[in-house]
Amino acid sequence: MIPRPLDTTPASWSEYNAVLDRMDGAARLYAAVELSDAVREVRLSGIRARFPDMTPQERVAQLVLEEYGVTLPSTT
């Protein structure tokens, strides 16, 4: 089990872990994918706010650069 985040009460953390314990493998995988998608959308929104003139493809390339340090080849 990972440590409780500092901004989470012990009661909330216990409830969160109880919910996870009740999930089967497929439900946990689905939740992980949904969370990953949500985080990526938040990151892309931040990039869009910083670079409003970027195309969607350029925003994805910027996300890859920031996350992995890899510069994707230009599509133009």
Q: Is residue 21 part of a domain?
A: yes
Q: What is the pLDDT of residues 16-54, one digit of tens each?
A: 999 999 999 999 999 999 999 999 999 999 999 999 999
Q: DSSP label at 23?
A: -
Residue 2's pLDDT band (boundaries 50, 70, 90)? confident
Q: Is 75's pLDDT higher than 90?
A: no
- Spatial CA neighbour of 70 closest among 61, 43, 46: 61
Q: Is residue 4 part of a domain?
A: no
Domain that holds residue 52: 12-68
Q: How far is CA 75 from CA 32, 56, 61, in A?
A: 31, 12, 10
Both tokens of 28, joined, read 């946990």
Residues 47 and 41 sit within 8 Å (Cβ to Cβ) = no
Region 64-73 average pLDDT: 96
Number of domains in the chain: 1
Q: Is residue 75 part of a domain?
A: no
